[in-house]
Chain A
């Protein structure tokens, strides 16, 4: 069923929800949020777009193969552990750099790990949603 209102709204909602998901990702360090929730919200944004515009439109707008997104997320998460190895600390110890820039403050490897989780969750959720959607078509 095609709804003009939902289709039009979903275009704007997609951007808003994606921004919200990034907000959740960044907020996650000290407050509720983080890579997992952020990734789920981002996946929900695409799911809404798919419900409004159909699976083909959704696949075009995601551009990457969801499995690739998932693998990229895992790679980022693994990469986030390398600073601790270079610094000679126990595995997965957080490494922090103080940028001194107001608002940004300290940036560290846990953020990178969270980013990895974000893409991992996004990739998995999209893989599940898309394969269910395509099964429906068969």
Chain B
């Protein structure tokens, strides 16, 4: 029964290995990529169903009992994140069919995508901190290669910053893991949760907590640590940008969530939550101001990622059940909407031949349906009812008011306005205004040159994610029930500990 936890990790590994074995059969790669991610989506939904009905699943690898071996744990939080990963993996696999050229496919684009998904799923499902570090590395190494695939100078420049900062963060992570192991003698999350209250070293634990916050903060791109993100995310092929934008920073947010609600939950966590509250305000404001100033579509969207991370961190720092549920819903909504916006920006670039908003225009005139498809995630992100972003922001702000963080609530609302402004900016520049280069050049250069199969491959993911945003908006209730039960489960460590160690503390 609990063996299903292995599948979201094992599936992408198997498909990647088969792809490397038949390295010249690119057609097989494409097929396996789509089929593998579709299967992963199915498996992860089944897993979510199982966890919802049967409680937390845990698996001890190799039959070694919990504190000694490696545990994989699927609670509601992990399962929801895995479902989101699989959804984005599936749509990106489809989108890649239309946008990735043969050269990149021959240089292992598809296997790398699978390995990236394996790393992300592993990070979500592991119940051991050192194992979390390993999955982060699996994820990062695949992302390094995906980032430079194609070898353009600006890609290498972006990758330098990305790799340097991520290696730094990994070494801090490792140092923190080392100190924690030195203090507690275990790295199993459930076992740590039991032991940490009984330990002396309160000061050292605070150091460890701050180190963890820095390393996950770099990965999640929170305020003073986000510079690598806008420097690198606009350089790779757009399918890669999209999956990075959707998933990678959220792994950092997930890690913060896991670390400071399951493992370190006492004085250390209180300190971290104070810090996070302040940082979240800066993250929201700086991110959105960066976005407003940009004219490159992908850079604008990249800065938006940072600003949105601020909302999640804000909700996390409040730490009430409602806030955690809000943060979780926010993460899922944001993964869907943000990835979708990147897909659309890629399509607009294909049509108009440029990322620069000043140089393009008139998309709405020729492709009105694309305009509608853009408005769904754009207004969703800005928080216009009844789309998903409205509910996400509503819950977070409600939690903020309940906990009397009025200043932060004010900032969040103000940032919302600016988010809307920057979305409108893309709309005005790319979709609404006339093409500054004149109308004649519009039709012939872009869309007509793409084969019809590729058009389908590019538009279908946009439609899928767009409808998810709409469904989240109109049928908010059932989804919110799920994230609420996840939040309640997350705040009661007893269940988690019992599922892993087999005993109540």
Contact = CB atoms under 8 A, between A and B. Distances in A.
Contacts of B17: 71, 74-75, 78
Interface residues of A, number: 17
B14 A89 contact: no
A71 B18 CA distance: 7
Contact of B23 (A67, A72, A84, A90): A67
Contacts of A85: 3
A67 B62 contact: no
Interface string A84-114: 1100011111100000000000000000000
Contact of B62 (A72, A74, A92): A92
A20 to B, nearest CB: 28
A75 B21 contact: yes
B182 interface: no
Interface in A2-55: none
B21 A71 contact: yes
Contact of A89 (B13, B23, B63): B63
A70 interface: yes
B20 A92 contact: no
Contacts of A67: 20, 23
A91 B3 contact: yes
Interface string A74-86: 1100100100110
* Band of interface residues on B: 10 to 19
Nearest to A70: B20
B17 to A, nearest CB: 4
A85 B7 CA distance: 12
Contacts of B59: 90-91
B61 interface: yes
A96 B61 CA distance: 17
A21 to B, nearest CB: 23
B108 to A, nearest CB: 9
Interface in B1-51: 3, 6, 10, 13-14, 17-18, 20-21, 23
A72 B59 CA distance: 27
B60 interface: yes
A85 B21 CA distance: 24
Contacts of B61: 90-92
A106 to B, nearest CB: 17
Contacts of B6: 91
Nearest to A93: B63
B1 to A, nearest CB: 11
A93 B62 contact: yes
A29 to B, nearest CB: 15
B15 to A, nearest CB: 11
B39 to A, nearest CB: 16
A132 to B, nearest CB: 18
Nearest to A81: B10
Contact of B21 (A72, A92, A94): A72
Contacts of A91: 3, 6, 59, 61-62
A92 to B, nearest CB: 4
Given A78-B13, A85-B3, A90 B20 contact: no
Contacts of A72: 21
Contacts of A84: 62
A77 to B, nearest CB: 9
Given A85-B3, A91-B3, A91-B6, A68 B21 contact: yes
Interface of A: 67-68, 70-72, 74-75, 78, 81, 84-85, 89-94
Given A71-B20, A75-B21, A90-B63, 6 more contacts: A70-B20, A71-B18, A74-B13, A85-B3, A90-B3, A91-B59
* The 5 residue pairs across chains A and B that have the minimum distance between CB atoms: A71-B21, A93-B63, A71-B20, A74-B17, A92-B62
